[in-house]
Amino acid sequence: MRPPSFSLGFASCNATPRGGASAAFGAAGRRPGMSPPSFSLGVASCNAAPRGRRPGARVRAARGFTLVELLVALAVMALLALVSWRGLEAMARAQSGHRERDDAVMVLQTAMAQWTADLDAATAFGTLPAMDWDGRVLRLTRRSSDGSGLPAAVVVAWTLRPTAQGLRWMRWQSPPLATQDQWQQAWQLAANWAQDGTREVDAAAVAVLPLAGWTVAYFRNNTWTQPVGAAALGLNTPLPDGVRLVLDLPPGAGLIGQVSRDWVRPTFNVQRGS
């Protein structure tokens, strides 16, 4: 009897399933005189469906984006980038406008503080006038001190002058004065500096802020009137009861329009009715 033979190969999935009878083997076993059965080991190529998938179902290949879909996505991204850029540009423009306005307000507040300080310190020294207006420049004589701390006087002038940057409201101040002759020279120098629009601005003058125009009014006898000269005020009342300042701000300086500031003489007494 031949020994059993084994072969390695690929078997078909059409083989008889387990438990089924073959043509060589019956229910009673192997016939006498027959050769032992041969066995084959191999990998079966079956058409059986994997677990969880219906038999006969096809596997769909992974599908990518089409060219039209990519173009639509790029267009949407470009639109969002444009909208975001416009929003950022508007925010930057608004911040720049607020910053310019804040700077203009600070400059205006500083100018008003200096104007008020000059008027508060204005006084007549003997026969020297405390205030004079000639239609173009307002000159003041105000209290001050010299380098050693001794009382002295200074002459201050406010006027509107043209500069390379346009019209500027300017302030001029003399050095401390000890004698009447020095005061007379400084008083005339302030008038000449204000009247001569082509004269160079010296170190004693400071450009305060840009202006389109300015006006001054006096409060006398319980009414606002046009400003007058020092001779009209007299020595008994060297200062008016009040001074109204109106500034015309030019466009493009952070602020625009008119600004009014009223100053009241510190020694002014309001007469109350009975």
**CB-CB neighbours of 114 under 10 Å:** 15
Domain assignment present for residue 256? The answer is: yes
Residue 210 lies in a domain: yes
Asked, for residue 169, whether it belongs to a domain, the answer is yes
Quick check: is 36 in a domain? Answer: no
List the chain residues with pLDDT less than 50.
6-29, 38-46, 48-49, 198, 273-274
Closest CA to 260 of 271, 245, 249: 245
Residue 124 is assigned to a structural domain of this protein: yes
Residue 26 located in a structural domain: no
Could you list the residue range(s) of the whole structural domain that residue 210 is in?
104-264
DSSP-H helix ranges across 122-254: 180-195, 230-233
Which of 128, 125, 158, 161 lies closest to 144, judged by CA?
Answer: 125
Element (H, E) at 256: none
- Whose tokens are 């003041």? That residue is 140
* Any domain includes 47: no
Per-residue pLDDT tens digits for 139-172: 999 888 777 777 788 999 999 988 888 889 999 9
pLDDT of residue 19: 47
Q: How many independent structural domains does the chain possess?
A: 1
How far is CA 28 from each of CA 35, 39, 113, rounded to the nearest angstrom? 16, 20, 127
Residue 5 lies in a domain: no
